[in-house]
Structure 1
Amino acid sequence: MKKFYGTGTYVQSAGVRGDLDIDGFAIAVCDELGVELARHQSRGFEELHEYGDHLSSFDLIVALTPTSKAQAEELTRVFHLDVEYWPIDDPAGLGENRDQKLDAYRHSRDQIVNRLIARWGPPRDGV
């Protein structure tokens, strides 16, 4: 998001579980677009507060899996906060060799890029 639209909007990444390492295939295919994930820290919803964020400070949660959608809806019952569900194919476990795995991750990455563009328009120049 920051790569396409700059830092004028505060964006934070969180998932159902925050104890996972960033997948090497995800790092590789995002790097192809100039998005650096190697130093990204995975965090769960519950960890946002530890990092100085609170769900009530956000306007929108974009959930990429049914599990994250359900958890986001449960956590936001008391907040005026929109939850959008973008069903993205899970590339984990797909493909029998490195090239097939990378293609599966590229497909998921491109699904997210297409959703970003559909929601917020084409990427800004110079970002």
Structure 2
Amino acid sequence: MTLPFFVYGTLRPGEGNHDVFLRGRTLAEEPARLAGAALYDGPGYPYVVEEPDGVVSGELVTPLPEEYEQLLVALDRLEEYAPGDARNLYERVAKPVVRGADGRTVRAWVYVAAPPVAARLRAGGTRIESGDWLTRS
């Protein structure tokens, strides 16, 4: 399934991993929101945790078609995600994301905290109340 990516942390423009992984490999990058999720400090990097009362701000990234497969592999490696691996810190899931430009909802890949990580964060993690990694403090 070929989907854009919703990025909310170190892959956003101006953050450290954006230039390393995305610069020159995207067709479009635009503001977007993910509802039904909260943002937690990793620390050093964020986690999205599925929670009904939250909204997370980020970017909807559409890769260039010729870069898609390589970018998918690179991002899975960055997030240490392997399908079906119980040791995953993140799971890559398809979620509805609201585009900031026109309010349309599109499905996108989102790296969310794996269930054991999400449970630990809910129990004692630091929630970023703004839902925006770029304005955390």
TM over 0.5: no
Of Structure 1 and Structure 2, which has the larger fraction of its residues in strand?
A: 2
Q: TM-score, normalised by structure 1?
A: 0.28
Tell which structure's C-alpha radius of gyration is larger. Answer: 1
Q: TM-score, normalised by structure 2?
A: 0.27
